[in-house]
Structure 1
């Protein structure tokens, strides 16, 4: 890894700085090895750092949590106590609550972990207004390329979005996009040679199943969970019905409720993203199954054994479609917390098979996104977007349609419909 690779800018930094200034507890969660520890130690270097990966430290916290916290915070003054892998302690959350109940100072604790230490306790509700939870995902392409955070959703939500406000996107070839997808976003892994990288990604999944899952809940059949992860890599960007998934895979001995529990674990470990089905509240029947996306394309490719040759015309070029859709969703999802307004992400499909890959709900405005793994685009690619906004459930809202594709030109197709290169996701916006 090069020296410059060590310190790729993370777009979450301003959010973290704001959180430490406004909340007593900052809870930074995200997958293992995405750089949480490095980030907080660099940002809050004047604080005190402990890790619960250290068995002795964990034992001490479990034996006397309040006493240990009080001791560790002595002489810290205005610096935070940074607790790494906080989810490993079952008693930590309540002890932190008691400390911040008696001390109203901001920025007392910075917690990091692969899952939310407060998710399975009753403490979260009582910490409302005192704690902020942020998520650090794997690197985005924008971060890898040292570009600003994408403001594309704010642009699309405008009263009158214009293509001239989007800086000319970086020229990126199909093979360059494939390289980005294969590399993934884990800082220390993405720059390795392909074989070493994919081996490390597979080892990473094994380590998550063996270590991190137990921090959330005991799993009776870890082998079945590992099989499920492989199956979800194959099904990235697909709608999933848990009962059908159990029938279609080797998980036939698992009940539907167990499959749903395992999917929930993978979401809480930030391995999967779940997009619910958007509904307008109208009576017409819509498909209600959620769509799942693998949170890192590099891991999904490693689990499937994909290489550059996988996507050639005489091999399996269709495999790129779902991976590219997940890649685009991941770029949008990581940028959403830094937009000017709060947006929610969904997918949509009607009973007669009209569908929208990603639907960004901004209240009175909707952004409808289609992803096309082709270097060309035509008016036919907008048929579902235009029907949705004119005659479908989006007709009472202001809708902007975007087709992301692998070409080089940014184009308008009228009525707030645009075709944009995928690389527009890391273009400057003058809005």
Structure 2
């Protein structure tokens, strides 16, 4: 990792520090190569660090898990034992459970891995109140630009949000946004030239299939899984028809569902459930899937800047731009003041909302437009939803994120915001 990227600020640090002070076990998961190891080494440099990528360490731990952990934690006092790639050991979870049940000290273990080591239901349940699991995603644009944490969700959840509270957003061109989308958020890879970067992203997917998938479950047809990943990149920001994917990949429907679960657990794709009001049967209940990193999805599809130009496929920008916005929201979600959940919504008569942020008593409804201008027509679904649709019983804020440069109000808590507002300043 080069020096300019190594110390980019990670907005999850306060959450990690709080977790270490309040839980006996801190479990940090996220995609391979997003900086988990660098983060915990910098943040918890006073602890003892071991990696289960070392075959000898893994073999010793599996031979005598409790004895090895007791030996590794001896003399640490208030410092944690940091175990990297913790998911590689199937015996680790129960040994940790036994130790932290006997010793109630906070911050004993910090685990990192590409998937959750505590996958057994009885172990996870028994560690309730003893463990906090946090996810480190690829870099957000705010982190890349060393800007403040994205607080637009907290802003929109106010009773009367005001555009005055939003600082002047960074003025970006359509080309600037495309560059951000193509670069992605993996610290070491995003700064490479396009050709080298995209080759490395494709190699990254091969490494995940060859190495990380086996930590979750054996896969009999890795080539079919690789095809499924390519198909998910094509279908980012879409509702998924698993039966159609089964035909394309020559897999059984149940196997497709299992493979999709693996991709979610490895943080390659993320799933937005369908928000339902409970009012009737005319709401679609299929989830929508997004590829977690737009740089990876564009590399799999061989997208370049020329792809989005007039005469090629400018319409293909829509899906990856929506996934880009979802990624920015998802990365900031744990650090908001409120506990918010992300969904999408669509009715049987084709009214839809790209992202619905549920804050309980207040909903924030988001549309993403790959254009530099906004009209009243862009708000028709948002306004109907809040006045005549299932959102009429709650407070609703509508936002259209677009590629323009102006913050605009369209009345009744409906706003058009440049996408760069997601890493702009917010005064609350």
Same fold (TM over 0.5): yes
Aligned to 1:390: 387
Instruction: Give the whole-Å Cα distance in 2 for the aligned partners of 1:366 and 1:396.
Output: 10
Aligned to 1:288: 285
Instruction: Give the whole-Å Cα distance in 1 for the aligned partners of 2:311 and 2:141.
Output: 28
Does 2:194 match 1:197?
no
TM superposition shift of 1:121: 4.6
Q: Cα RMSD over matched residues?
A: 0.8
Aligned to 2:15: 15
Aligned to 2:260: 263
Instruction: Give the whole-Å Cα distance in 2 for the aligned partners of 1:406 and 1:169.
Output: 11
Residues 204-213 or 279-288, more deviating = 279-288
Residues 1-10 or 171-180, more deviating = 1-10
Name which of 326, 334, 342 aligns with 2:339.
342
CA contact (8 A) 2:185 2:293 kept: yes
Aligned 1:96-107 pairs, distance under 5 A: 96-107=96-107
TM superposition shift of 1:2: 4.8
Instruction: Give the whole-Å Cα distance in 2 for the aligned partners of 1:71 and 1:3.
Output: 35
Aligned 1:349-428 pairs, distance under 5 A: 349-428=346-425
> Structure 2-normalised TM-score?
0.99
Aligned to 1:70: 70
- CA, structure 1 residues 103+185, in 2 after alignment: closer, same or farther (shift >3 Å)? same
Structure 2 gap ranges (5+) = none
Aligned 1:25-424 pairs, distance under 5 A: 25-247=25-247, 249=248, 251=249, 253-424=250-421
> Structure 1-normalised TM-score?
0.98
Residues 63-72 or 236-245, more deviating = 236-245
- CA, structure 1 residues 118+377, in 2 after alignment: closer, same or farther (shift >3 Å)? same
TM superposition shift of 1:314: 1.1
CA contact (8 A) 2:2 2:188 kept: no
Structure 1 gap ranges (5+) = none
Instruction: Give the whole-Å Cα distance in 2 for the aligned partners of 1:214 and 1:109.
Output: 24
Instruction: Give the whole-Å Cα distance in 2 for the aligned partners of 1:149 and 1:42.
Output: 20
TM superposition shift of 1:11: 0.4
CA contact (8 A) 2:161 2:413 kept: yes
